[in-house]
Structure 1
Amino acid sequence: MLSRPTYTVLGSDPTNRKCRINCYAFQQDAIVTFQGWQYAAFCSPLPDVAEPLYVHLARRRLLEPPHDNPGGWEVLALTDYPQTVDDGHNTVQLGISPGDGTIHLSYDHHCDVLRYRYSCRDLALKPTEFAWISSHFTTTLDYLPGLPASHKPFHYVTYPRFCAADSDLLFTLRDGKAGLGNDHLYVYSSSSGRCSYLGQHLTGIQSNPYIHGLSYRSGRLHLTWVYRGFVHYDGWDDLADAKHKQQAGPNGAENNHDLCYAYSDGLGKTWKNGQGKEIASRDLGISTIDNNSEGIVVFRIPKRSGLTNQESQVVDLDGGVHVLNRSSLPVGSNNRSGVEAVHWRHYYKAPGDDGIWSEFLLRPVYGSTRGRLAVSKTGDVIIILPDAENGRVYIERATKSSGYTAHEEVWSGEGLRGEPLVDLPRLENDNVLSLMVLADTKSSNDIDPGTRNVVVLDFEL
């Protein structure tokens, strides 16, 4: 079992809105450690005011692992951009470029113009030399440095993500609406301070791909995703249409299908399927992966089987690929109708092009809240599963020594909400599990419902 965690508060989480805006699974690195400092990004109001919300960026210096600096968070509010739209898609994303120490943020999108800002060089490389103030960041931009605002994918952005790759920083986004969009890939060069467009690497044919994440390890970029088939509705082709911005429907998660995988050893310039066969490259004359690309489907999961979008993926220390998702299918079934309750599934691909995929059944799913995967310093896979109906979070461990077949519960806690986020570098390097999640606070009477905070739980493994 894990020991009792250290608990620190980053800021308040708004409770006056219909939609949550913090702690969603598609916030790939909302909390991340870089060179002994931990950074976290979230949206919060200013003190004593409910609206609007502002992007907040926090940092703290970590002492010798596994001990951190209690209460040592510095929190910066970027008050030049108010966030007003009540939409759970409009989260903030955080990335750090290893080569030049710039900190990058992208925020407030659901089929909207790009909103992006980044810091001066060396802010994360030499943090003790910089005060934690907003003047070290650009204003909100509608373009990436080195690319024009007229670049078409910047006009219709949803789900931006960052992923560090050697000394540079990858950035991806979806353009198009739910069920009818494509993914685009960019790289920020730490040497030039400019971005390059790597192309439309995922194309949806009457569908859109929903990625579980981007994972870069040892020169290889790993990508897993599900497709969501598009359902036509009245006005779908109207440029002013906003029905697709609803939190559910008309193209909801019931139309998700198939678990897919591809990887790139060319930083997105070439792509191969899990058997090592090239499926997209300039030499092939095929610029993108689409629904018909050979060998990308690793589990055929039909629509209305409980499969969700953007849950979680992680790559272990040996290059094995792990995916967390869910379905109602019997384990080992292939394209059969659902016959049981929806359970979380741990999907695992052994390292190498001959690595086979396995599927492990986990606990039942209660609600739509998504979980998270991470890898410890010893190579075990940590699985964080929320129980949305009861406000609990469960942590399980899949041991490397068992080939990830042995799963055991190691902790559970109550009064926790949202989709838990994990500081992957800190867990892998320091064996400390930093969990960013929402926590209820108890009121002193039965009339006041209490409040909710964005918190970090630190577990020493």
Structure 2
Amino acid sequence: MRNIKQYLTASLMCLLTASCAVTQEKKQESKNEISQGLIYLEREVKVTDSALFFDGKKLGNVRKSVNIKNDPNGKYDYQYGSAIAPHGDAIKTYQHYVFMTWYRGGKYDRHMMLSRLNLKTGQLKHIEFPHQHTGLVGRWWIGETHNTIAVGISPKDETIHLVFDLHAYSKHSDTGGNGSFAKDYFRYSYSLPGAAAVSDDEFTLDLFVKDTSSHSAGPNDYNHLSMTGAEDHAAHSKLTYPKFFLNDQGDLFFYIRQGTSHDGKGIFNYYKSNGIWSSFKSINKLNVKEDGLAHTWSNYGNMKFANGKLGFAFQPRINNKTDRYKYQNGVYFMYSDDPIGQLQWKNYKGQDINLPLIDPKPAFVTEPGDWVTSQQPNKIVITGSFDWTITQKGDVHIISRVRDTEYKKDVYLHHYKPAGQSEFITTDKFVGAKNLYTSGDNIYIIGLDNGQPYIEQATGGTNQFKRVYQGKKQAADFKKGMVYIAQGKLYYYLLAEGQGDKRTTYLQIINLEGR
């Protein structure tokens, strides 16, 4: 009997041990799948040790801030946010080159910079422009994170384009610049044809075209006041949030918001040649009260070209001080079958939309505010964490966040329409994200976890996200990053943790398609 008991006990222990071994092995495999699986880090490159950073205190009221004088012994105080590099539309690729924009620190330098990494030679070249970070409405001693540097590359003539340092500036003194923007309210620089692909030794400031017009600031002025070849203050003033992107035909587009936070419109144009662009086309109209609407509204959106369509998703900020929404409300989406977006705009149901929009209703998708409870004035906040994309096979995905400040509740929403389906699905079973990306038929959430990049992936047309990559510390921990995806690779432009008004930035290239 004792032998039988010993045998059964030994057998049971063997089974349990084997089971535990299998479980541990599966856990280890799962861990390795995340850190060493199909998605992997190809390379990490230091871009600079001198990226500008606002290391002082965050200021409150803008009207009071403009009266603050420079403290020559003080740190770099700022408005809105502290990290200006990298920020905005700061990274693009062309052939085997990566282009990155930044301001050079510290507080008394602030020069605009363009860097190009040659992935074949490993050479990283920097171009310093005469232009310096403007600061808060002309007060250079107050940092301003709206003043980003957007970069675009035209594959048709290999020109480089930069629009930079803008936050609703005008030639009139009422913008707060005390007249300093009279001949500098719009900032556009462009290169000679072929500049994007010159040899490493030839990548210099001489590639860029000087401004020799009547509003030029002198022989070293590369800031052009117009994209259309002639000064047009109405078209080029009060602009914020510049962005460049391409369509499938290789046309370079530019999108920006014009106007204010309570009465702003989206405008876009496309590049022709020799620094000349088409006239701007408006997504929506300003001052819609004159068209019979009760309130003006500002357009908070993002234009992209995806799956052969020029698309635009947005949230309107309706200037209504008495409803339950403090800022934005609603999710809206529309697209054009015209590759240059001049005609054929439709809502997600395929119904025609006329531009410019006066009332946003024709583009309506869903109302995030319906997922929370408060009915009190200005208690529902729908700002940030809003983005969209379309997969290669045509799945449309939009993300948003709604906050109920009365009941202290945040809800992250994923609105998606699988290819071939007619209506959007909305779910709150979503982890939440600030941005959404696509490559092929997959969608991605990309961010930082414990100072290192992570990637969550889902098949297009689903909400089934899983973590497929977690970076390990190489040279530094990071506090912020800007993402660009091209041809199955993630180019992650990263700001390292640090001290002072000069910080270190890196580029990580992560292969999304595997070994």
Q: For residues 150 and 450 of structure 1, what CA distance do their matches in structure 2 show?
A: 37
Contact kept, 8 Å, 1:42 with 1:56, in 2: the verdict is yes
Between the two proteins, what is the percent identity of the paired residues?
23
Note the aligned Cα RMSD (angstroms). Answer: 3.1
SS at match of 1:141: coil
Matched residue, 1:137:
208
Which structure shows the bigger proportion of residues in strand conformation? 1
Taking structure 1 as reference, are residues 92 and 307 closer, same or farther at Cα in structure 2, changes over 3 Å only?
Answer: same
Q: Give the C-alpha shift of residue 121 in structure 1.
A: 0.7
Match of 2:109 among 52, 62, 66: 52
Q: For residues 230 and 52 of structure 1, what CA distance do their matches in structure 2 show?
A: 39
SS at match of 1:397: strand
Residues 353-391 of structure 1: CA deviation (Å, up to 9, x unaligned): 835344453336xxxxx73322235x221202457xx76
Total equivalences in the alignment: 391
Matched residue, 2:164:
107
SS at match of 1:120: coil
Contact kept, 8 Å, 1:323 with 1:346, in 2: the verdict is yes
Matched residue, 1:14:
53
Q: For residues 338 and 290 of structure 1, what CA distance do their matches in structure 2 show?
A: 32
Of 197-206 and 130-139, the range deviating more from structure 2: 197-206
Contact kept, 8 Å, 2:401 with 2:413, in 1: the verdict is yes
Contact kept, 8 Å, 1:396 with 1:408, in 2: the verdict is yes
Which structure shows the bigger proportion of residues in helix conformation? 2
Q: For residues 122 and 358 of structure 1, what CA distance do their matches in structure 2 show?
A: 46
Q: For residues 207 and 447 of structure 2, what CA distance do their matches in structure 1 show?
A: 37
Unaligned runs of 5+ in 1: 64-68, 233-252, 281-286, 330-336, 365-369, 442-447
Q: For residues 452 and 320 of structure 2, what CA distance do their matches in structure 1 show?
A: 34
- Written as runs of structure 1 = structure 2, the 5 A alignment for 1:55-454 is 55-63=112-120, 72-85=123-136, 86-112=143-169, 113-124=185-196, 126-128=197-199, 131-138=202-209, 139-146=222-229, 148-165=230-247, 166-190=249-273, 193-203=275-285, 205=288, 206-211=296-301, 213-230=302-319, 254-266=326-338, 267-270=340-343, 271-280=345-354, 287-294=355-362, 296-302=363-369, 304-309=379-384, 311-328=386-403, 341-351=409-419, 354=422, 356-359=424-427, 361-363=429-431, 371-377=434-440, 379-386=441-448, 394-400=454-460, 403-412=461-470, 415-418=477-480, 420-425=481-486, 429=487, 431-441=488-498, 452-454=503-505
Taking structure 1 as reference, are residues 106 and 417 closer, same or farther at Cα in structure 2, changes over 3 Å only?
Answer: same
Give the residue type in structure 1 aligned to 2:298.
N
Give the residue type in structure 2 aligned to 1:149.
E
Q: Which has the larger radius of gyration?
A: 2
TM norm structure 2: 0.68
Contact kept, 8 Å, 2:392 with 2:439, in 1: the verdict is no
SS at match of 1:152: helix
Q: Give the C-alpha shift of residue 344 in structure 1.
A: 3.8
Give the residue type in structure 2 aligned to 1:14.
F
Q: For residues 38 and 110 of structure 1, what CA distance do their matches in structure 2 show?
A: 26
Q: Give the C-alpha shift of residue 268 in structure 1.
A: 2.5
Contact kept, 8 Å, 2:313 with 2:333, in 1: the verdict is yes
Contact kept, 8 Å, 2:368 with 2:401, in 1: the verdict is no
Give the residue type in structure 2 aligned to 1:121.
P
Q: For residues 180 and 310 of structure 1, what CA distance do their matches in structure 2 show?
A: 21
Matched residue, 1:66:
none
Q: Give the C-alpha shift of residue 15 in structure 1.
A: 3.7
Unaligned runs of 5+ in 2: 1-33, 56-75, 137-142, 170-184, 210-221, 289-295, 370-377
TM norm structure 1: 0.76
Contact kept, 8 Å, 1:59 with 1:75, in 2: the verdict is yes
Q: For residues 334 and 119 of structure 2, what CA distance do their matches in structure 1 show?
A: 36
Q: For residues 424 and 303 of structure 2, what CA distance do their matches in structure 1 show?
A: 20
